[in-house]
Structure 1
Amino acid sequence: MRHKHTSFFLNSLTIGILLIFTLVTPGKAQFVDLGQDPCSTRWRQIKTDNFQIIYPDFFEDNAQYLANIYEKLYAHANTLGIKPKRMSMIVRANGGVSNGNAGWAPKKSELYTAPPQDVSDAWLEHLCIHEFRHIVQYDKVNQGFTKALYYIFGEQITMAVIGVYVPMWFLEGDATVFETSVGKSGRGRSPEFLNEMKAQITEKGIYTYYKAVLGSYKDFVPNHYALGYYMVGNSRVHYGPGIWQDALSRVGKRPYGITPFARSLKLTMNEKRDSIWSSRHFQSLFVNPDSVKQANTHCDAKRTLYRDNFSELQQIWKQESDQIPHPFDTITTANKIYTNYHYPTATPTGQIIAYKEGLAQEGALVILHPDKDEIITRTGIMYDYKFAYQDETLVWSEYKYHPRWEHGGKMVLASYDIRHKKYHRYPTRQNRYAPFAVEGNWGFVEVDKEDNASIVILDHTFQKEIFRVKGSGDELFVHPSYDGKNNIVTVVVSSKGKHLESIDIHTGKRTQITAFTPYEIDNPVTVNDQIIYRGAFDANNSFYRQTQPQEFGANILNSKFGLRYPIVSPNKDSLLFSFYTSDGYKPGKIAINQLENKAIDTQTFRIADSVTQQENWQFKLTADSTYASRKYNKTSHLFNFHSWGPIFPDAEDVDIDFGLAVSSQNKLSTLFLTAGFVRGKGYEHGNWQVKATYKGFWPTLQLEFKSGRNDDFMQDYAIKIVQTQEIDTIRTIYKSQRTKGTATVQFPFNISRKNYSRYIIPYVKYEIQAIHSITPRRSYLLDHNRWTSLPSNNPYNSVLANPDDVKLQIMRYGLVLNNQTRTSQRDIYPRWGQRLEVGYAHTPFDGLDYGDTKWAEGRLYLPGFWKHHSWTLYFGHQLKSDKTTNYYGNQIYSPRGASLYGHNLSTLKISYALPFWYPDAHIGPLVYMKRFTAEPFFDTGWEKNRYWNKTYHSYGVEISADTHFFRLPFPVNIGFRTGYETKSNSMFVDMLFSVAFTI
């Protein structure tokens, strides 16, 4: 009986968690607003039995290419054993982001088509293959009991089940395995991708499963793509692809279980694990295989699989890395935690400049010193770390946001004049990448919105075009450089593979230097008539020297976990580069004459080759069909009802209400609509709600309607006592019916620049509300500056009049200004930041004047005494002309622990935040703790009302922890605030809790 009670409790807990994420996840994670394209975009669509592609009209040729890719993918029988149902793919081709996503609430996939300077497969093929696998995963889960739940909750239930039961490392790891097994290359054949985990496991050991999955602020932890690739891929090597097919099936069919995903893994391992550990080859990896197996067994299924996989890989990697020499010099730097130095570049004066970023450092160009690096300038967001140096000027490519449209930004060139300490950015309509110096001028790769690539040279002012050569078809130029004579040397990536090429800058003649290869190659540089570049022929990042055409050259330098970014010194006698360690990329150096030719020892990728055999086919377009396309009408597709059930999600208000509601989000993410009867904030007895937000124009438009019972209407009365002639003040709370409608217009402007996030948001809000059916609920007496509750039969009831119905129309106007620096992973708050909001509200209509209110509030972030410490200052002031009734509410914060009331309010808050512990510890599967933070504070508040004019103080400390519960990927900050406040002269304790639904 005890066991049954425990099972019942655990199942109830599981179902409870599932319901919470069913209710919460759509509001914060799956009803996702990833932004909009410019409203001038004209859309078309290709629609087949298998898929729908919605794309800008200028992307027609590539849309046909995408259609051929998806038709091929849908025809293939994949290793998850299911053909997915029709999915909509939204092509985001207006911007400079290279990415993709797939979701189920609403059901669609979004493709960000700007090609990166990576050297995997051709970008569109790579993107479609990876995101297609997510579609297959979701359909695999959407079966059995999960599919039955769809009729209650809609599309949101599939993502809720996945969010609770299926680890993120599996979703991304499985998709990465698929891209590797089906594509020509994929990240499973990229040493850059593989070596992060390899270095950590070899040099730092095997972290706990919790740390590997949920991350750390103390140490660098490879992301869920890398972890997942090894977990999924290596498990498929030993158990076959059925291990994951069975796991997803069980999740879909039994989401009411405790841990259906882990349970399925346990069943598979119970059947096959002993035979794996008994094999001679496997046992030969370990000194004492039985003890390792036994130690790994004392875990649940996911942790056992994790320990098994990485116990094996650790031994393999140690044997491999011990055989690789270290023949070069390390350039000394001063960093105790994980830090990367990219593209170390020597100047004629002997200084070394590098791009630095890591756990404690947001991206910056620095001059290297043994004791402390000197920051030259911080940069904007760089997706490729390549920069160029010439004549005391640095040039790089960074992301420039569009002032309004999230999918309208571009990768642009930026420069920094070291002599005059001036930063400049060069906006353009095309994406520009990988700058390089050309005899006083500047070259780069340019890609237009149709993904056509060119190499361009501009003069030193970045104004006059000197040279341009265009690629053909799907060719992308990667990391070009100038050879100091007449040629540009570049890597060219296409659906045929990768090769080195030389381009004459006078004639534009292109000469192919090497044959096509599926292996990664990049960063070619020329010295003494030889080309040095990074290649992955030996399954590691090594340097190769090209002296003969067509055939790939000799291996000249290697390191345990790979080398990147070869740069020739100004006097051409040394080669600078970065080599990877478990503490990040470190700068190294070697004399050119010490580089020795070694034959290329071509190696295979064990996991990649195995899963490729299992998949048993490789993606290759053998036909080029033309699909019928037609206009996609934005107006007729405004509504897309995808989820329903007993919830009302409101991501903007950070709120989830219970009731009966339906949700719509159209496929272009321009109209968001929720409607239903719910129990919402301030409406304990339920209310009708409708909320619609349209973001298809420059101003965003929002309409909201609420109607229901409200219990917080308040009125103050001054009553004269006949016997004493004294005035008593009575505050009465009424229950009432409140009907409210609002219309809001916002004008968002994103003016972010360099490492500063900056935006301006003016807004206007019209609000109409009626408070009616008003009856008393409870009363309070003001006694010695404190409100005391009165009994229901108090003698004052006879003289208290029920207020008249209130009908008013309020206009609110406001302006929000924000400016703050980008943060590193360890920062609690921005190093520098300012936020200011000013507003005004009044009642100008129908001859009713309920006064007005004005407010201003600001927040300042300042650096603390040590790194990652931060001062925060908040100030707010509000002035209300009406001194009796608060129809507008408080627009500013009160001091912590106290509340301000009155017509004239001011608040000043000062706090100092500091991290004091990085435990990386867990309490069973319940909670994993990453960081503890303390924040002492001192607040002052001033209130002026009809009765007094007083100042109050509060002081104390907030202690909070960054945690994860139940191994879920969503970070939870939980803690408490305690202190003393002088308004009531008492101690106070508040709970702190917040969830970030971003991973």
Structure 2
Amino acid sequence: MKYYYTLKNARILFISILFTLLFIIPAKAQFVDLGQDPCSTRWRQIKTDNFQIIYPDFFEQNAQYLANIYAKLYAHANTLGIKAKKMSMIVRANGGISNGNAGWAPKKSELYTAPPQDVSDDWLEHLCIHEFRHVVQYDKVNQGFTKALYYIFGEQITMAVIGVYVPMWFLEGDATVFETSVGHSGRGRSPEFLNEMKAQITEKGIYTYYKAVLGSYKDFVPNRYTLGYYMVGNSRVHYGPGIWQDALTRVGKRPYGITPFARSLKLTLNEKRDSLWNTRHFQSLFIHPDSVKKANTYCDAKRTLYRDNFSELQQIWKREADQVNHLFDTIPTRNELYANYHYPVPTPTGEVIAYKEGLAQEGALVFLKPAGDEIITRTGTLYDYKFAYNNHTLVWSEYKAHPRWQQGGKMVLATYDLLRNKYRRHPARQNRYAPFTVDDNWGFVEVDKENQASLVIMDARLEKELFRLKGNGTELFVHPSHDGQGNIITIVVDTRGKHIESVNIRTGKRTPLTANTPYEIDNPVAAGNRIIYRGAFDTNNSFYCQDHPNDFGHNALNAKFGLRYPQLSPGKDSLYFSFYTADGYKPAKIAVNRLENNPIEKEKFPIANTVTQQEDWQFALNTDSTYISRKYNKTLHLFNFHSWGPIFPDVDDTDVDFGIAASSQNKLSTLFLTAGYVRGKGYKHGNWQVKASYKGFWPILDLEFKSGRNDDLSQSYVINDQQTQQKDTVRVIYKSQYTKGTATLQFPFNLSRKNYYRNIIPYVRYELQTIHDYHNKNAYLLSNRRWQSIPTNHPYVGIIGKPDNITLQIMRYGLILSNQTRMSERDINPRWGQRLTFGYQHTPFENLDYGNSTWVEGRFYFPGFAPHHSFSLYLGHQDKSLKDRSYYSNQIQSPRGISLYGYDLSTLHTTYRMPICYPDAHVGPILYMKRITAAAFFDVGHEKNQYYKKTFYSYGIEATVDTHFFRLPFPMNLGFRLGYETKKQSMFADMIFSVSFTI
């Protein structure tokens, strides 16, 4: 019985924490703002009984294509056993980002349609299939008790249940399995996608479940897509698709349990695992099957499934790796941590340039040197690592953000002149990718907003267009190169598959060199009459040589975990490339005459093959149907109330207020609104609150209104008693109405360039505060040094009357300037960074002068004495014009451990922060620790008020740990601060806590 009550108490505690998270997660994580399209965009829509597609008017032809894709997907009976409910799909076609997402608060999916250079299927098909599976997952959870909660809380509760209970690796892994089983190829047939986990498991061993799921700063850990594909796919091989269907059903019907997802897996394992382990074939996959089975018996279900899957796969992969020998020469590099070298390019002078990025290195072009790489230049954000070198100039494609609209950026060409050390960006109206050399000129792939691709050649200065070939329909050109004989060799991807093609620059004639294939192929380069390219025919990334038209040639070179990025030397006698290891892509080379001539062996991808048979449906699109489209009126669709109930989600406040509230976010994410009657800070009896933000124009308009009863206003009065001629002191407590409203206009400018994130944000704010509608609540008379209650109709109270209404109108003007370098994964702070804030506020209205306040803040980051160490400074100064009283709160920080008050304040923070260790350790399922960080600080504060002018100091240490609780994906920073301050001449201690909802 004692155990029962202990377990029961633990259950109550867990459920309490759960419901806290259910409230917080929607408030802080699910009302996501991923940005807006330019306000000039004209929108149209296609509506059917199953879906709604909202798209820019210039995307009409592709919108019809998308509608045909979704019609097929909605008609298919999927392995989760549920028909997806109606969903809105928002097409983001103005920018250069290739991505997608699906969410439930509000319920919609967003499609970023710019095609990447590493597609495994036609991009729009791939994107729709993957994101559609998320829609099915969410609908599967939204049943039973979760559906009942939906009527109380709205859409936020479904996403909260999923966020707390369903692992991220399952959501993305299941969607990746679906894209693989339904699409022509999918990432489950992409060695580039699969080999990260293969190399880690084979060379580094099997990490703990916690490390595999939550990541590490010490080692590279494959992401949740890769982990999830193997977990979901390999489990379906052994247990069938019902294992995951049952798990989501239990989560939806029993979200009040402690771990419904894991509980469902445990029931499946209890039913089927023993029979699986009794098969001789399965046991033969383990070196010591009895010890593996026994060790996993006492683990929880997710860890058992993880160990089963990867213990099996480890043996398969080791046998496969042992059959491959390296026949090439590695190019030596020096790295203690995981680092990738992409596209090693030899120069005529014998040097080798590569693009490098890794755990300790944000992206940069480097010279490869045995003693250590020499950084040429850091770059902006790259989505494809291909670059070109010619005549001491480097060219690559990087993302250029729009000054205002998050969905208006473009992929542009950037150049770096090695002789002048000069970086330059070449903006264009269309997205540009995959640069290559054409004699002394430059070629690249251009894709317009309608996803129409072209091959383009421009002069050496990238100013004059010399050649253009437009693709047909959905064709995309991938990784073109010049053969030196007037032809462009490129991969062409469309709905039929992929093939190699030659394009004559003089005539524009196109000559297919191979048939279409569903397998991945890319990076073709010409060596005389041979074309060398990367292919995935044998479940690995290998190099193939094509000698004759209309066939794919022969296998020329292999590596254990794949090869990529073939580049020929200037004399075309050597082939430079990268080969993958558990420590990243490493550079290598081989003489062209040493390439082998082995037959192509097209092998099946075992997991992909099995899940394809289980799904029993292959996506085949015909676009015969034409759907009615009509204008989408932005004004009529400003409001979209998606969540409601007894909580008030306030993303600007760490607290969650309780009351009755509703939240709206329209489908274009231009208007955000939360309104309700809640119990907030300073309002014991509740208050009306409205928060709204409109982001549809360049200036962002933020509005906030609060009004509620305030019982805590107390005032004391001195009254002459006419009979005794004595002075009596009376204190009256009033209940009043406190109303506050603010309106803020800000003008954000994103001026990011190269590896620097730069923003300028001027703003102006109007604030109205009023205390009105007074009512006497209690009155007290000071008698014999004690307060004695008197009735509110006492004559003294009548003499006093009621206070005048207080109205305060404040205007605030500000400017925020920020500039910081891009960070590597291990960096604690930016290597270099500056943030300046200027502000001024006053009361210019109604001839009321409450003085003014001026402040300036500066935060600066500098490199420390070792990698990932950081030295930071904070400087703040504030001046208030009124010396005897203040109507303005402090806008600058005080020294740590000290509070400053006065009309003239100055603060200096100095901090040195450094990592101590990367434990990757867990305390049961409760806590997982990734990094321990220490800091030393010394602060100075100068305070001037009407009584004194003094300077105070504080100094001490901080220790924090980057951690995760309950295996939730949200990283937390937890620790303490211990110091000494001279204002009170005492020690102080603070808890440090922060949580990030970016995952």
Q: Establish whether TM, by shorter chain, passes 0.5.
A: yes
SS class of match (2:637)? coil
| Contact in 2 for aligned 1:14/1:257 (Cα 8 Å) | no
Quote how far apart the aligned CAs of 1:610 are: 0.2
Letter matched to residue 963 of structure 1: T
SS class of match (2:636)? coil
Residue in 2 that maps onto 1:372: 372
Output the CA distance in 2 between the equivalents of 1:715 and 1:482: 84
Residue in 1 that maps onto 2:862: 862
SS class of match (2:952)? strand
Quote how far apart the aligned CAs of 1:713 are: 7.5
Within 5 A, what are the aligned runs for 1:808-887?
A: 808-887=808-887
Residue in 1 that maps onto 2:981: 981
Cα gap change, 1:777/1:512 in structure 2, threshold over 3 Å: closer, same or farther?
farther
| Contact in 1 for aligned 2:22/2:164 (Cα 8 Å) | no
Quote how far apart the aligned CAs of 1:279 are: 1.2
Quote how far apart the aligned CAs of 1:596 are: 1.4
Cα gap change, 1:700/1:103 in structure 2, threshold over 3 Å: closer, same or farther?
same
Residue in 2 that maps onto 1:341: 341
Quote how far apart the aligned CAs of 1:14 are: 3.5
Output the CA distance in 2 between the equivalents of 1:472 and 1:33: 35
SS class of match (1:650)? coil
Letter matched to residue 919 of structure 1: P
Residue in 2 that maps onto 1:462: 462
Output the CA distance in 1 between the equivalents of 2:827 and 2:747: 30
Letter matched to residue 649 of structure 2: P
Residue in 2 that maps onto 1:13: 13
Quote how far apart the aligned CAs of 1:578 are: 0.5
Output the CA distance in 2 between the equivalents of 1:691 and 1:283: 60
Output the CA distance in 1 between the equivalents of 2:575 and 2:340: 18
Letter matched to residue 230 of structure 2: Y
Residue in 2 that maps onto 1:922: 922
Quote how far apart the aligned CAs of 1:866 are: 0.5
Residue in 2 that maps onto 1:596: 596
| Contact in 2 for aligned 1:10/1:258 (Cα 8 Å) | no
Output the CA distance in 2 between the equivalents of 1:653 and 1:837: 21
| Contact in 1 for aligned 2:65/2:623 (Cα 8 Å) | no
Output the CA distance in 2 between the equivalents of 1:146 and 1:622: 37
Q: 1:831-866: CA deviations, max 9, x gaps?
A: 000000101000000111100000000100100001
Within 5 A, what are the aligned runs for 1:524-539?
A: 524-539=524-539
SS class of match (1:570)? coil
Quote how far apart the aligned CAs of 1:215 are: 0.3
Letter matched to residue 494 of structure 2: S
Output the CA distance in 2 between the equivalents of 1:706 and 1:294: 60
Residue in 2 that maps onto 1:179: 179
Quote how far apart the aligned CAs of 1:328 are: 0.8
Residue in 2 that maps onto 1:208: 208
Q: 1:631-665: CA deviations, max 9, x gaps?
A: 00000100000001121112244543222211000
Cα gap change, 1:346/1:988 in structure 2, threshold over 3 Å: closer, same or farther?
same
Within 5 A, what are the aligned runs for 1:383-462?
A: 383-462=383-462
Residue 24 of structure 2 is aligned to residue 24 of structure 1: yes
SS class of match (1:820)? strand
SS class of match (1:818)? strand
Cα gap change, 1:793/1:459 in structure 2, threshold over 3 Å: closer, same or farther?
farther
Letter matched to residue 937 of structure 1: F
Letter matched to residue 408 of structure 1: G
Cα gap change, 1:89/1:365 in structure 2, threshold over 3 Å: closer, same or farther?
same
Output the CA distance in 2 between the equivalents of 1:791 and 1:345: 88
| Contact in 1 for aligned 2:399/2:410 (Cα 8 Å) | yes
Residue in 1 that maps onto 2:150: 150
SS class of match (1:753)? coil
Within 5 A, what are the aligned runs for 1:120-199?
A: 120-199=120-199
| Contact in 2 for aligned 1:11/1:256 (Cα 8 Å) | no
Output the CA distance in 2 between the equivalents of 1:17 and 1:522: 49
Q: Structure 1 regions of 5+ residues with no counterpart?
A: 719-730, 780-789
Quote how far apart the aligned CAs of 1:733 are: 11
Residue in 2 that maps onto 1:283: 283
Quote how far apart the aligned CAs of 1:882 are: 1.7
Q: 1:406-461: CA deviations, max 9, x gaps?
A: 00000000000010000000111100000001111110000000000001001011
Quote how far apart the aligned CAs of 1:623 are: 4.5
| Contact in 1 for aligned 2:762/2:816 (Cα 8 Å) | yes
Output the CA distance in 1 between the equivalents of 2:977 and 2:804: 41
Output the CA distance in 2 between the equivalents of 1:219 and 1:903: 51
Residue in 2 that maps onto 1:243: 243
| Contact in 1 for aligned 2:380/2:399 (Cα 8 Å) | yes
Residue in 1 that maps onto 2:721: none
Letter matched to residue 616 of structure 1: D
| Contact in 2 for aligned 1:776/1:802 (Cα 8 Å) | no
| Mean CA deviation greater in 6-15 or 588-597 | 6-15
Residue in 1 that maps onto 2:59: 59
Letter matched to residue 415 of structure 2: S
Cα gap change, 1:793/1:961 in structure 2, threshold over 3 Å: closer, same or farther?
farther
Cα gap change, 1:459/1:712 in structure 2, threshold over 3 Å: closer, same or farther?
farther
Quote how far apart the aligned CAs of 1:385 are: 0.5
Output the CA distance in 2 between the equivalents of 1:875 and 1:557: 59
| Contact in 2 for aligned 1:430/1:449 (Cα 8 Å) | yes
| Contact in 2 for aligned 1:663/1:675 (Cα 8 Å) | yes
Residue in 1 that maps onto 2:674: 674
Output the CA distance in 2 between the equivalents of 1:995 and 1:6: 30
SS class of match (2:884)? coil
Cα gap change, 1:832/1:803 in structure 2, threshold over 3 Å: closer, same or farther?
farther
Letter matched to residue 227 of structure 1: L
Residue in 1 that maps onto 2:722: none
| Contact in 1 for aligned 2:732/2:776 (Cα 8 Å) | no
| Contact in 2 for aligned 1:367/1:376 (Cα 8 Å) | yes
Output the CA distance in 1 between the equivalents of 2:815 and 2:197: 47
| Contact in 2 for aligned 1:379/1:754 (Cα 8 Å) | yes
SS class of match (1:245)? helix
Residue in 1 that maps onto 2:793: none
Output the CA distance in 2 between the equivalents of 1:814 and 1:822: 26
SS class of match (2:489)? strand
Residue 181 of structure 2 is aligned to residue 217 of structure 1: no
| Contact in 2 for aligned 1:774/1:805 (Cα 8 Å) | no
Residue in 2 that maps onto 1:314: 314
Residue in 1 that maps onto 2:297: 297
Quote how far apart the aligned CAs of 1:606 are: 0.3
Output the CA distance in 2 between the equivalents of 1:453 and 1:710: 63
Letter matched to residue 116 of structure 1: P
Residue in 2 that maps onto 1:648: 648
Output the CA distance in 1 between the equivalents of 2:713 and 2:348: 74
Output the CA distance in 1 between the equivalents of 2:355 and 2:447: 24
Residue 549 of structure 2 is aligned to residue 549 of structure 1: yes
| Contact in 2 for aligned 1:187/1:193 (Cα 8 Å) | yes
Output the CA distance in 2 between the equivalents of 1:852 and 1:733: 30
Residue in 2 that maps onto 1:256: 256
Residue in 2 that maps onto 1:608: 608
Q: 1:362-408: CA deviations, max 9, x gaps?
A: 00001111121111000000000010000110000000000000000
Quote how far apart the aligned CAs of 1:334 are: 0.7
Within 5 A, what are the aligned runs for 1:956-975?
A: 956-975=956-975
Aligned-residue CA RMSD in angstroms?
Answer: 2.2
Output the CA distance in 1 between the equivalents of 2:61 and 2:666: 25
Output the CA distance in 2 between the equivalents of 1:121 and 1:631: 31
Q: 1:53-87: CA deviations, max 9, x gaps?
A: 00000000000000000000000000000001100
Within 5 A, what are the aligned runs for 1:771-782?
A: 771-772=771-772, 773=774
| Contact in 2 for aligned 1:18/1:161 (Cα 8 Å) | no
Letter matched to residue 892 of structure 1: I
Output the CA distance in 1 between the equivalents of 2:896 and 2:801: 35
Length-normalised TM-score, structure 2 = 0.95
Letter matched to residue 204 of structure 1: K
Q: 1:908-941: CA deviations, max 9, x gaps?
A: 1000110001000000010000001111111001
Output the CA distance in 2 between the equivalents of 1:742 and 1:100: 35
SS class of match (1:77)? coil
Q: 1:7-26: CA deviations, max 9, x gaps?
A: 43243234323322221112
Quote how far apart the aligned CAs of 1:735 are: 8.1
Quote how far apart the aligned CAs of 1:827 are: 0.4
Cα gap change, 1:943/1:553 in structure 2, threshold over 3 Å: closer, same or farther?
same
Q: Structure 2 regions of 5+ residues with no counterpart?
A: 719-730, 790-795
Residue in 2 that maps onto 1:324: 324
Residue in 2 that maps onto 1:635: 635
Output the CA distance in 1 between the equivalents of 2:339 and 2:819: 26
